[in-house]
Structure 1
Amino acid sequence: MMISRRTFGLGLALTGLAACATPGATRLASSGPATLAEDLRPVANPGYDAWVAAFRGRAGQYGLNDATVASAFRGAGYLPGVVTRDRNQTEFKRSLEDYLSIAVSDERVAKGRAAFAAHRATLSALEARFGVDATIIAAIWGLESYYGERRGDVPVISATSTLAYDGRRGAFFESQLVAALKILQNGDTTPASMTGSWAGAMGHTQFIPTTYLAHAVDFTGDGRRDIWSDDPTDALASTANYLAQSGWRRGQRWGGEAGAGAPAGSAIQPQAGGPVFSVTGNFGAIKRYNNSDSYALGVGLLADRIGGAGPLRASFPPDANGMTKADRIALQQRLTALGYDTGGADGVIGARTRDAIRAWQASRRLPVTGEPSLALLRSLG
């Protein structure tokens, strides 16, 4: 099975997996440092200003008071970059094998085990309270924001109001703007602290504002449902609450690889020729977070690895170029050794690997295709 979804999120993602999934604009967070692009800073736009003025005139219909709206919009503005990103979302296809290579990478597993150890008491308390496996909560945290390292720094009021004004999905983003303003009116955070993705997904586990209103909880007991701060407690609790309210059954596994001690359940094989998985109703609860088999498998398998399990036992078939993952890793390693930066050797052929191939081909006066192949691998020595 090939994943085909529209990118929707931070612009930091490696895979762009969500078309506004229910709890947030979920996507697979990368591990590098975030930088706010120049086009995500406010610019003058008279049309936007007029739209905001009209919105402020009807804000009372939503139960919003003038002080909240005035405070929220004091530093807000039109962000051209969010419109660009919204309009230029492309169909993205990645095999399940490639997706899992990123979602359950050795680095993500190692950081997940460290994060789990550091927050073991909190995660155990959440499992006791909500019935959701602590490793599942940690895995969602890992996929959504790389354990809090990629929460996003775009002002949510600016982002949602810009997209509401733009109008392509105006009603949806106006509902997110209204929800964000209600969060501010409730006193859960401040306009300056309310940051997230270019599309308004917020915090450690990337809740959109409407989902926050429906499912966020104050687990610390400080009177605020704070999913934005460095302390992930409320965000993790909110995720556990969301899963519990989505039908998660206490004490039941999500599933597992068939023939590897997996619980009884429905058999699925998302990629032809690849591993077969046995999944339970809790797999469906994870899909309520992001309606993708690949996402739910990424969460489940990452959770298992955080808990100490080993990698998948079954292998995936060669790709369309006849290359196995080991072949693709070898290709990246050889290009890197020759001075061509592939961005790492994970077996996933992305833009940087293709650029490296093109550069090598050009240096040898060969046809520049950027395509990996077994012949290319042999040519690299």
Structure 2
Amino acid sequence: MRGLTRIVGALLIASCAATPALAAQCGGDFESWLPNFKRDASGQGVSARGLAALDGVTQDPTVLRLDRNQGHFRVPFEEFIAKRVTSGRLAKGRQMLQQHAGTLARVEAQYGVAPEIIVAIWGMETDYGAVQGKQSVVRSLATLAHDCRRTEMFQRELIAALKIIDRGDFSSADLRGAWAGEIGQTQFLASNFVKYAVDFDGNGRRDLIRSVPDVLASTANLLRSHGWRKGPYGEGTANFQVLNEWNKSNNYQRAIALFAQRLVSGQ
């Protein structure tokens, strides 16, 4: 969702005080901070391959500006959905349900998540992969990890991104996404990528940027891992509560459920 309330609502603003596991102090000179962070990352199991992704990294002032200008989700629900649950997205979503029916059926059989929920998230997040973001994930996360607003969170996310590179799912150059470091067609945080991304097309890589089967299955795996069970997902259900794990914004949760319902109702 391009760095909005998934980031804002996920955690309280972190203190600049470092934890024992993440000892790199925030703020100050960025070039001096990087070697300290590299030592911490090495201690967290990041190999030389992952650490090399930080070589030559610079701060991105655009990321800092966007991080301080987030009020997009504090609007009335009807205003929120007017720009997101659109007739065009619904039409494309129904097309995606048909085009990927076989994959979605296999995903539902394995993870218990209704196809329309996965497609609704896919459409809401990136217009079905069309708008994933083009910024360097490593640079964006390094900028936010050095910043003193949510230091602890973004240092963890940066370490997770380096582990993705370590594993070989992506090179640093190919690991591009939204301004706050979200990755792929359903905008996974790096830590969620490490935990929940799956290789559903069987090519040996977890590719949430280009592989639709990996995207759909990984999205379902995240939901199931947080308690999703086959069944209803409207407001008041247990599955609706699981959507809180996808996005902390109640507007966003309601919009996903509404989007999914309209996909199958034809409205």
**Shorter-chain TM-score range:** 0.7 to 0.9
Query: What TM-score do the two structures reach when normalised by structure 1?
Result: 0.62
Map 1:288-367 → 2, pairs under 5 A: 288-310=245-267
Q: Is the 8 A contact 2:144 2:151 kept in 1?
A: yes
Map 1:1-381 → 2, pairs under 5 A: 9=2, 16-20=4-8, 47-70=29-52, 72-74=53-55, 76-90=57-71, 92-229=73-210, 231-250=211-230, 252-255=231-234, 279-310=236-267
CA distance in 2, matches of 1:240, 1:59: 30
Query: What TM-score do the two structures reach when normalised by structure 2?
Result: 0.87
Greater per-residue helix proportion: 2
What residue number does 2:18 align with?
none
Q: Is the 8 A contact 1:156 1:180 kept in 2?
A: yes
Residues 54, 205 of structure 1: alpha-carbon distance in 2 compared, 3 angstrom cutoff: same
CA distance in 2, matches of 1:102, 1:87: 22
Residues 52, 220 of structure 1: alpha-carbon distance in 2 compared, 3 angstrom cutoff: same
Give the aligned residue type for 1:213: V
Deviation at 1:239, TM superposition (A): 0.7
1:159-199 superposed Cα distances (whole Å, 9 cap, x missing partner): 11111112221111111110000111011111111111111
Q: Is the 8 A contact 2:118 2:216 kept in 1?
A: yes
| Off by >4 Å, runs of 4+ in structure 1 | none
Q: Is there any run of 5+ residues in structure 2 with no aligned partner, and where?
A: 11-27
Q: Is there any run of 5+ residues in structure 1 with no aligned partner, and where?
A: 1-7, 11-15, 23-45, 256-277, 311-381
Q: Is the 8 A contact 1:247 1:285 kept in 2?
A: yes
Q: Is the 8 A contact 1:193 1:228 kept in 2?
A: no
Query: Does the residue aligned with 2:206 lie in a helix, a strand or coil?
Result: coil
1:8-55 superposed Cα distances (whole Å, 9 cap, x missing partner): 835xxxxx5444456xxxxxxxxxxxxxxxxxxxxxxx9222211222
Residues 301, 63 of structure 1: alpha-carbon distance in 2 compared, 3 angstrom cutoff: same
CA distance in 2, matches of 1:100, 1:84: 25
Q: Is the 8 A contact 1:68 1:184 kept in 2?
A: yes
Identity among equivalent pairs (%): 37
What residue number does 2:19 align with?
none
Greater per-residue strand proportion: 1
Residues 106, 168 of structure 1: alpha-carbon distance in 2 compared, 3 angstrom cutoff: same
CA distance in 1, matches of 2:5, 2:143: 23
Q: Is the 8 A contact 2:73 2:80 kept in 1?
A: no
Give the aligned residue type for 2:2: G
Give the aligned residue type for 1:66: A
Query: Does the residue aligned with 1:121 lie in a helix, a strand or coil?
Result: helix
1:44-92 superposed Cα distances (whole Å, 9 cap, x missing partner): xx9222211222233320111223211x124632211111111233475
1:294-341 superposed Cα distances (whole Å, 9 cap, x missing partner): 22221112112222432xxxxxxxxxxxxxxxxxxxxxxxxxxxxxxx
Q: Is the 8 A contact 1:113 1:306 kept in 2?
A: yes
Residues 202, 169 of structure 1: alpha-carbon distance in 2 compared, 3 angstrom cutoff: same
For the pair shown, the structure with the greater C-alpha radius of gyration is: 1
Residues 116, 91 of structure 1: alpha-carbon distance in 2 compared, 3 angstrom cutoff: closer
CA distance in 1, matches of 2:261, 2:165: 37
Q: Is the 8 A contact 2:145 2:152 kept in 1?
A: yes
Give the aligned residue type for 2:138: I
Higher relative contact order (CA 8 A, sep 6+): 2
Q: Is the 8 A contact 1:21 1:289 kept in 2?
A: no
Q: Is the 8 A contact 1:175 1:210 kept in 2?
A: yes
Aligned pairs, how many?
250
CA distance in 1, matches of 2:140, 2:76: 31
CA distance in 1, matches of 2:196, 2:9: 14
Query: Does the residue aligned with 1:64 lie in a helix, a strand or coil?
Result: coil
Compute the RMSD of aligned alpha carbons: 2.0
Q: Is the 8 A contact 1:154 1:196 kept in 2?
A: yes
Q: Is the 8 A contact 2:113 2:229 kept in 1?
A: yes
Residues 162, 185 of structure 1: alpha-carbon distance in 2 compared, 3 angstrom cutoff: same
CA distance in 2, matches of 1:234, 1:20: 27
Query: Does the residue aligned with 2:29 lie in a helix, a strand or coil?
Result: helix
Give the aligned residue type for 1:292: S
